Structure 1
Amino acid sequence: MPLPSPIALLPAAALTHTTRSIRRGDVVAVARGVYAGAAEWGALPRWDRDLARVHAHLMTHPDAIVCRESAALLWGLPVVGALDAVHVLARGGSTSRRVGGARVHTSAHDDRVIEEVGGIRLASVADTCVDIARHRHPAVALAVADAAVRADARLSAAILAAVNEERASGRGRRRARWALARADGRAESALESISRAAIEWWGFPAPQLQQWIGPGGDADRTDMWWPSAQAAGEADGHLKYDGRLGDPGGALRAREERDRRLRRRGARAIAHWSWDDLAEPSALRDIILGVGLVPESLPDLDSLSSLSRLLRPSLNLRDSIAPTTPLHSARELSAR
């Protein structure tokens, strides 16, 4: 099911004195003719505000077909950065256009699967992955594709690639191939997915994902594992260590104890990195070099530079990337 609005939305008719409520600061406009309580709105992280904007648009345009990043939000897929508009699909027409708070994308061919769930019409998960892969940065596309394959066992890299190739329009087809071919549901967060992209672009060998180290039920699972170097890699999000999920000191002590267990069980070295390290191109390279890995190919400096430009404007990355939500289940923060 598409995710519901994270906040109660009120049509203008539900407010006794709309103008007075706005002037007092009791409510804020989420979309034209749709409002929310100011205090509740102020407490929402950026991605939940974007999700609320999608639902606000649907309140006034119930027949809209949601697509691209707006559909990704509804499906619980990761979205990098704030949305500049609600993305909707229109059949036919000559050019895409912006109307109010929506960006209308026209399609000359009816080759997307449109699902209607709970009264909401939106592009299918597979088509949403392909749309984003054709139009967004490859690392962002990989994060979306990984999350989709992880959440729905019916999807795979091969299926996503086939949807891309079968589209009548060739616009963005070649661009999308890189990310869709690498979709892997074992990557458990957008940070892991985008790290995979950066590691490849630096020329390092591809790691094994979610490898268990240790005996039986007492084993620890690493985000990434390079058996040739006996090295583990951990993509550590901010949420574990900023106090929002409990005592940050305790989380750090738990990490140190886990690292000691991994070393006792054969890990020669363990690398840890965060969003900030991805935003600075050479930081992740130096961290990976530090655990004994050697690049096998020349770096893709163009891709690395564009990734840095994508991530660096939002240095507070924990509030810029929507956490992945497994399809048809409750939202879970990607705290790893």
Structure 2
Amino acid sequence: MSERVANELRLMIEEAEQEERCLVADSQRDRLRLCRLVRQNRMTSPLRGLYCPTELWDRLNPAQRCRRIVRALARQHPYLPFCHVTAALIWDLPVSWQLLGQVHALRSTGGRRQGPASSIRWHQRSDAQVTNHDGVRVTSLDQTVVDCLCSLDFTEGLVVADGYLRRTGTTRRQLQNLLKDLGHGVKGVPQARLTASFADGRSESGGESALRATIVKLGFPVPTPQLVIKDPIDPSRSFRLDLVVRNAAGVLVDIELDGRDKYLDPSLTGGADPEEVRRAERLRESRVTAYGIEVARFSGSDARDAARVGRVLAAFGVAKGIPPQTQARNRTRGRARGLRWRQLRLGPHELWYKVIDMRRRRRPQAGRRLPFQQSEVLCP
């Protein structure tokens, strides 16, 4: 590779890094150069026409990768609107990384339906509210939340609903009213209503919301998020407990979620050393137990592990009740009423006749004659 070509690629990489997006091949010459680097394992191509240095791509988590892909697609197609969990990610709402394998986008006209292995999942909707956020065209924040709640299950939907309440400061009742306004006629509204009925903006992270959803589905008492207690040694200080339930003996159980970000993310640690954060956490736990509160700890991977969560809470004496309904029941469609046209094929001729459902039709009044009898055959 000549020095001129290397300088051009370096400028492309620096520009993409400043905008936190993938590289876009604007010409056939650039595409051939980048494809050559892909064959040398120096570049990674997550989507056709999009590239990222392999060393950088390996350091990114799924959320960061999806953001770079979306910003690169927005540069290629400035008028393309994104929706569902992709829009939720752009709005900085908590989204499970398992849902970021596809990019969700809107189009106004129909077309070939994409399979589950496709990198872009298209949604056809003409009345969606679209706005610009962070340089990307996405559905509005309210529209995004309604779409996510209607399309996600209870656990993943509760993660988004809690994040929406926490970000906007709205109440559960306002979220339910929002579903009435924007969810009319949308598939999945019953599930969205169920999920919204358990939403709580006091949860501080998506992991806490997922853990609370798992506890609820198992039939344990609904935990109270972020309970504040005073430091028994220094009353001027206070502690917040992630989730609190009461066991069968009436003792409070503090359910703590210890993810890696709690010790490594500078925005959560304030730039402190991870060992210093662990020391402060042990000191905090000793002050909490002074009230007689028991502490149960879970890792980030335990939040969705129903079997492990059930065993741990049972060991702490938390009684299980009747699991509430967290999945909407599918409504069975009854038999259609009224008259229906049926088609008969009798040799070369086609005859039409009307079929009367006598079980659902009222008996005619005396003195009145039906407009036709059940045995009548009407030609077209």
Normalising to structure 2: TM-score of the pair?
Answer: 0.69
Contact 1:96/1:105 (CA < 8 Å) preserved in 2?
no
1:260 aligns with 2:286: yes
**Counterpart pick for 2:255 among 233, 240, 244:** 233
Q: After superposing the two structures, state which structure 1 stretch, 204-213 or 91-100, moved more.
A: 91-100
Q: Aligned partners of 2:319, 2:257: CA distance in 1, in Å?
A: 19
Letter in 2 for 1:93: G
Partner of 1:157: 172
Question: For 1:31, what is the secondary structure of its paired residue?
Answer: coil
Which of residues 155, 160, 172 is equivalent to 1:139?
155
Question: 1:298 aligns to what?
Answer: 322
Residues in 2 aligned to 1:70 and 1:41: alpha-carbon distance in whole angstroms: 19
Aligned match for 1:101, one of 104, 119, 122: 119
Considering only CA atoms, is the larger Rg found in Structure 1 or Structure 2? 2
After superposition, the Cα gap between the structure-2 partners of 1:204 and 1:160, relative to the gap in structure 1 and judged at 3 Å, is same
Deviations 1:223-281, CA, capped at 9 Å, x for gaps: 122365222221221334689977665544433321110122x1331111123333432
Determine whether 1:84 maps to 2:101: yes
> 8 Å contact 2:217–2:326 — kept in the other structure?
no
Sort the Cα spacing of 1:7 and 1:25 in 2 relative to 1 into closer, same or farther, 3 A.
farther
Q: Secondary structure at the match of 1:293?
A: coil
Partner in structure 1 of residue 239 of structure 2? 220
Identity, in percent, stands at: 27
1:273 match: secondary structure: strand
Instruction: Tell me, yes or no, if structure 1 residue 283 matches structure 2 residue 311.
Output: no
Would you say 1:168 and 2:184 are equivalent positions? yes
The alpha carbon displacement at 1:30 in A equals 3.6
Picking from 260, 272, 278, the partner of 2:297 is 272
Question: In 2, distance between residues paired with 1:207 and 1:32?
Answer: 45
Secondary structure (helix, strand or coil) at the match of 1:66 reads: coil
Q: Does 1:117 align with 2:117?
A: no
Partner Cα distance (1:230, 1:65) in 2: 47
1:42 to 45, 54, 58: 58
Q: Call closer, same or farther: CA 1:23–1:222 in 2, change over 3 Å.
A: same
Tell me the matched-pair count: 295
RMSD after superposition: 3.0
Deviations 1:162-185 (A, max 9, x none): 232232324101011122222221
Whole-angstrom distance in 2 between the partners of 1:268 and 1:116: 47
* TM-score, length basis structure 1: 0.77
Q: Distance in 2 between matches of 1:294 and 1:82?
A: 33
| Matches for 1:243-258 after TM superposition, within 5 Å | 250-258=276-284
Note the C-alpha offset of 1:192.
Answer: 0.7
Q: Is the 8 A contact 2:44 2:53 kept in 1?
A: yes
SS in 2 for 1:255: helix
Offset at 1:286? Answer: 2.5
Structure-1 separation of matches of 2:315 and 2:280? 22
Q: Report the CA distance between 1:45 and its aligned residue.
A: 1.2
Match of 2:339 in 1: none
Distance in 2, matches of 1:6 and 1:240, equals 27
Correspondence for 1:10: 23
The residue number in structure 2 matching 1:126 is 142
Q: Of the candidates 203, 207, 214, which is equivalent to residue 219 of structure 2?
A: 203
- Find out whether 1:31 has 2:47 as its counterpart: yes
Q: Write the mapping of 1:54-69 to structure 2, written as runs, cut at 5 A.
A: 54-69=70-85
Cα displacement string for residues 99-138 of structure 1 (whole angstroms, at most 9, x for unaligned residues): 963211012x51x322223542211222212211111121
User: Are the aligned partners of 2:71 and 2:136 in contact in 1 as well (CA < 8 Å)?
Assistant: no
**Any gaps of 5 or more consecutive residues in structure 2?**
1-16, 328-380
Deviation at 1:210, TM superposition (A): 0.9
RCO higher in structure (CA 8 A, sep ≥6): 1
SS of aligned partner of 2:219: coil
Which residue number corresponds to residue 317 of structure 1? none
- Maintained 8 Å contact 1:7/1:52: yes
Which consecutive unaligned segments of at least 5 residues does structure 1 have? 304-336
User: Which piece of structure 1 moves more, 37-46 or 15-24?
Assistant: 15-24
